Chain A
Amino acid sequence: MKDELFTMTPEMPSMSPEMLARWQEELRRNSLRMKHFSEMVMNPKEPEVGPTPREEIYRKGKSRLWRYASKRTHKTPLLFVPNLGISRPYIFDLMPKGSFIEHMTQQGFDFYLVDWGVFGPEDNDLTLEHAVTKILPRLARKALESSGAGEMSVLGYCMGAPLSLSWLASTPEFPVKNFIDMAGPVDFSQVGLFGLWLDARYFDVDKYVDTLGAIPADMVKMGFKLLKPTMDLSTNLNLWWNLWNPDYVAGFNALNKWANEYLPFPGEFFRQWVKEYYQQNRLYKGELTMAGRPVRLGSIRCPVLAVGAKEDNIAPPGCVKPLVSAVSSSDKEYVELPGGHISLIAGRGASVHCWPKVSSWLAARS
């Protein structure tokens, strides 16, 4: 019986050589999946993020200004203003060949990054107005001094766009050469699910801030997870599917590290952000004031590029596009690119669609 078993020829359905090769490839991928999976579980490695060399130019409180030097083929430096709170800014310099900052420096732009820092309970009195009228202008001035240039381009990403618009629109004397709004909401009446959930009828921001003081990172995380509840499921499914590919795994590890590091909001900052921007839409309506100065988007006259992401559910294209009609610039453009809020600026798609568009638009004007 035993001998019979060993000598038996299995009854395999007829299989073409092409099909056999594909099965072999599938088996190879499966063994790689198992290998990478066991490595991730048994021997997880801390991904190295932020590979582009940089130097600290200035520090104000928790906030820092970083300079990423380039060969400087363009004389106008670029100041990058990201969101305050929510997440860390290393997403813009995630990994080699997967970094917006690396791309921009390779294109010859001196790149200055505003790193707002991680705020604690001692910063609960920090208002949005303070960030816009004290921290941001000072960091921008230091960037100008460091570069020796007379003008600078400003790129606001996500919340960084309305923040930098509030600063520039209330400070027309600042020598801004170009402005780019990347996935930054401007007309908050079109801001999608967050706009609805934070509506004054349903969300009492005063009670929220008065009770909690700061907005804890876990609350921020919950809000963003709720925005796309199936995200974790599809992320893990895609990970399993691509687990055979070491490049994908490396990218996943870096992105996953970032995606799980949420940051808290200072209480007063959050109050002003929700009330004046989300609930009252004051920036777009021209009703906002900063340090007693009116914030008028119409006072912006430099070239403006607004970039929306087709599948963005945090800042849908409908709330980004209105910037173009609100500014007084004669040179202005709106583009809608594939991707979501993050994949617009980070990831493979970004390196094909967004980065070349932004760098070429700036290069022609720097």
Chain B
Amino acid sequence: MADQTGTQQLFDMWKKQVDEGTQAWLRMAGQGQAPDPQAFWRPFMDQGMQAWSKVMTQGAVSPDLMTQWKQFLDQWIAAWSKVLEQAMGTEPFAQAMGKQLESFLNVSGPVKKAAEQQVEAGLAAAGLPSRTQVIGLAKQIAGLEDKIESLEDRLDAILARLGKKERE
């Protein structure tokens, strides 16, 4: 027989940790008024506790224990998902993300440019075509392909007109 008090304590600890984590996360995301995370946890926590209590107090442990555990985890993930979605769907979060992205661009932009210049210089020194030259060539080929296609289209249109005239 399992120790029901021990299980209860474990769940209480877990619940406390989850609650605190969520609150901290919401504060971090800059949510003005944090929603009550208890509202998310309570239904599935209660359900989970009931199921576990039942399992732990009955004589033989049934394989349903696994199913109940899986359901418990599913609900836990779903609740987290809901909380995160709510936090990420706020203007402060979008603003914070935009600022973070901008800082990233401010740093990565000059680094990228310097690296590209260094690679170009290295390739030029080795007498090899640079990345810019290869890309330029690929663009020219694409442009050529477009021109051929437009000629093909014109030819098709002329042939269609000729065919129509012949039939007349």
Contacts and interface: CB of A to CB of B under 8 A. Distances in A.
A290 interface: no
Interface stretch (B5-13, B35-43, B48-56, B95-103): B95-103
Interface in B90-112: 91, 94-95, 97-98, 101-102, 105, 108-109, 112
A19 interface: yes
A237 B74 contact: yes
A196 B142 contact: no
A49 to B, nearest CB: 28
B117 interface: no
Interface string A201-229: 11110011001100000000000001011
A199 B145 CA distance: 37
Contacts of A207: 102, 105
Interface in B59-97: 59-60, 62-63, 66, 70, 73-74, 77-78, 80-81, 84-85, 88-89, 91, 94-95, 97
A126 B143 CA distance: 11
Given A193-B85, A230-B84, A202 B94 contact: yes
B74 to A, nearest CB: 7
Q: Secondary structure of the B side of the interface?
A: helix
Interface residues of B, number: 36
A230 B97 contact: no
Interface stretch (A20-28, A34-42, A84-92, A166-174): A20-28
Contacts of B73: 237
A313 B60 CA distance: 43
B94 A196 contact: yes
Contacts of B80: 230
Interface in A91-130: 120-123, 125
A233 interface: yes
Q: Secondary structure of the A side of the interface?
A: helix
Nearest to A192: B89
Given A207-B105, A229-B84, A13 B77 contact: no
Contacts of A230: 77-78, 80-81, 84
B20 interface: no
A237 B60 CA distance: 26
A211 B81 contact: no
